[in-house]
Structure 1
Amino acid sequence: MTASTDLKIQLDEPKPRKWLGLRHIQFFLLFLASIIAYGIRTNMSVGIIAMMSDDPPNKDTPTFPHWTEKETILSAFFWGYVIPQIGAGALVKKFGPKWFLTVTMFINSLFTILVPVMAVEAGQGGVIACRVIQGLNQGFLYPSVHTLLGKWTPLEERSKMASFVYTGGPLGTVIALAITGAIADSMVGWPAAFYLYGAFGIGWTVLWGFIGADSPAKHGRLSEEERQYIEGGVPRDDEELPTPWRSILTSVPFIAILVAHCGQNWGFWTLLTEIPSYMNDIMKYKISDNSLLSALPYLVLWILSFIFSPIADYLIAHYLSIGTVRKIFNTIGKVIPAGALIALSFVDSSQKNLAVGLLVVAVGFNAATYSGFNVNHIDVSPNHAGILMGITNSVSNVLSIIAPLIIKVIPYEQTDPILWRYVFCITAGMYLVASIFFNIFASGEVQPWNTEGEKRCSTTNDEDKNKEKF
Structure 2
Amino acid sequence: MSTQEKIDLDLNKPKPGLGFRHVQTILLFFGLLLAYCMRVNMSMAIVAMTDGSENSFDWSIQIQSVILSSFFWGYVVLQIPGGELAAKFGGKLLFCLCVGINSATSICIPISAYYGGWQLVCACRVIQGLSQGFLYPSIHTLIGKWVPLEEKTSLGTLIYAGSHLGTALELSAAGLIAEYWGWPAIFYVIGTLGVIWTTIYIFVGASSPEESRLISDAERNYIHESLGHVVGRKKLRTPWKSLFTSLPFISLLIVHCGQNWGFWTLMTEIPSYMNQVLGVNMKSNGLMSALPYLSMFLLSFPFGFFSNYVLNKKWLSTTTTRKICNSIGLFGPALALIALCYTPADVTITVIMLTLVVGLNAGHIMGFMTDPKEWHKIFYLASIIYIIANIIFLIFGSAELQTWNEPNESENKNTTDEALEKVEKVI
TM surpasses 0.5:
yes
Matches of 1:217 and 1:306 in 2, distance apart? 30
- Indicate how the Cα distance of structure 1 residues 303 and 15 shifts in structure 2: closer, same or farther if over 3 A, else same: farther
CA shift at 1:264, angstroms? 0.9
2:292 matched residue in structure 1: 297
SS in 2 for 1:443: coil
1:152, 1:215 within 8 Å by CA — same for their partners in 2?
A: yes
Matches of 1:75 and 1:102 in 2, distance apart? 24
User: Which of 102, 114, 123 in structure 1 is aligned with 2:117?
Assistant: 123
CA shift at 1:252, angstroms? 2.3
SS in 1 for 2:279: coil
1:341 matched residue in structure 2: 337
Q: Deviations over 1:437-466 (max 9, x none)?
A: 222222223333333279526426638989
Q: Report sequence identity in percent.
A: 44
Q: Deviations over 1:209-253 (max 9, x none)?
A: 122222233334244356435653632676333222222222222
1:157 partnered with 2:155? no
1:235 matched residue in structure 2: 229
2:103 matched residue in structure 1: 109
User: Which of 271, 278, 285 in structure 1 is aligned with 2:280?
Assistant: 285
1:243, 1:453 within 8 Å by CA — same for their partners in 2?
A: no
CA shift at 1:313, angstroms? 1.4
Structure 1 segment 186-197 matched on structure 2, within 5 A: 186=180, 188-197=181-190
Letter of the 2:320 counterpart: T
- Indicate how the Cα distance of structure 1 residues 217 and 440 shifts in structure 2: closer, same or farther if over 3 A, else same: farther
- Per the normalisation by structure 1, the TM-score is 0.81
User: Which of 431, 438, 444 in structure 1 is aligned with 2:393?
Assistant: 438
Taking only aligned residues, the RMSD between alpha carbons, in angstroms, comes to: 2.6
User: Which of 309, 312, 335 in structure 2 is aligned with 1:314?
Assistant: 309
Matches of 2:370 and 2:401 in 1, distance apart? 49
Matches of 1:15 and 1:323 in 2, distance apart? 31
CA shift at 1:257, angstroms? 1.8
1:133 matched residue in structure 2: 127
Matches of 1:332 and 1:447 in 2, distance apart? 25
- Indicate how the Cα distance of structure 1 residues 119 and 225 shifts in structure 2: closer, same or farther if over 3 A, else same: closer
Q: Deviations over 1:392-415 (max 9, x none)?
A: xxxxxxxx9xx73xx35xxxxx33
2:98, 2:132 within 8 Å by CA — same for their partners in 1?
A: yes
1:342, 1:425 within 8 Å by CA — same for their partners in 2?
A: yes
1:178 partnered with 2:133? no
- Indicate how the Cα distance of structure 1 residues 24 and 439 shifts in structure 2: closer, same or farther if over 3 A, else same: farther
- Indicate how the Cα distance of structure 1 residues 219 and 240 shifts in structure 2: closer, same or farther if over 3 A, else same: farther
Structure 1 segment 381-420 matched on structure 2, within 5 A: 404=366, 407-408=367-368, 414-420=369-375
Q: Deviations over 1:116-165 (max 9, x none)?
A: 00001100001000000000100001111111222233334334333322
Unmatched segments (≥5 aa) in structure 1? 1-12, 370-399, 409-413
How many matched pairs? Answer: 408
- Per the normalisation by structure 2, the TM-score is 0.88
Letter of the 1:110 counterpart: A
CA shift at 1:99, angstroms? 0.6
Letter of the 2:371 counterpart: D
- Indicate how the Cα distance of structure 1 residues 440 and 243 shifts in structure 2: closer, same or farther if over 3 A, else same: same
2:197 matched residue in structure 1: 204
2:164, 2:294 within 8 Å by CA — same for their partners in 1?
A: yes
Matches of 2:409 and 2:228 in 1, distance apart? 13
CA shift at 1:275, angstroms? 0.8
CA shift at 1:14, angstroms? 8.1
1:64 matched residue in structure 2: 57
1:366 matched residue in structure 2: 361
CA shift at 1:431, angstroms? 1.2
- Indicate how the Cα distance of structure 1 residues 90 and 421 shifts in structure 2: closer, same or farther if over 3 A, else same: same
Matches of 1:27 and 1:463 in 2, distance apart? 33
1:15, 1:229 within 8 Å by CA — same for their partners in 2?
A: no
1:251 partnered with 2:206? no
Matches of 1:465 and 1:179 in 2, distance apart? 56
Matches of 1:78 and 1:142 in 2, distance apart? 14
- Indicate how the Cα distance of structure 1 residues 424 and 137 shifts in structure 2: closer, same or farther if over 3 A, else same: same
User: Which of 312, 325, 331 in structure 1 is aligned with 2:327?
Assistant: 331
Matches of 2:223 and 2:200 in 1, distance apart? 26
SS in 2 for 1:232: helix
Matches of 1:278 and 1:76 in 2, distance apart? 19
Which structure is larger by alpha-carbon Rg, 1 or 2?
2
Greater Cα offset, 251-260 or 280-289: 251-260
Matches of 2:419 and 2:36 in 1, distance apart? 47
Letter of the 1:99 counterpart: L
Matches of 1:440 and 1:433 in 2, distance apart? 11
Matches of 2:86 and 2:418 in 1, distance apart? 28
1:35, 1:172 within 8 Å by CA — same for their partners in 2?
A: yes
2:8 matched residue in structure 1: none
1:34, 1:166 within 8 Å by CA — same for their partners in 2?
A: yes
Unmatched segments (≥5 aa) in structure 2? 1-10
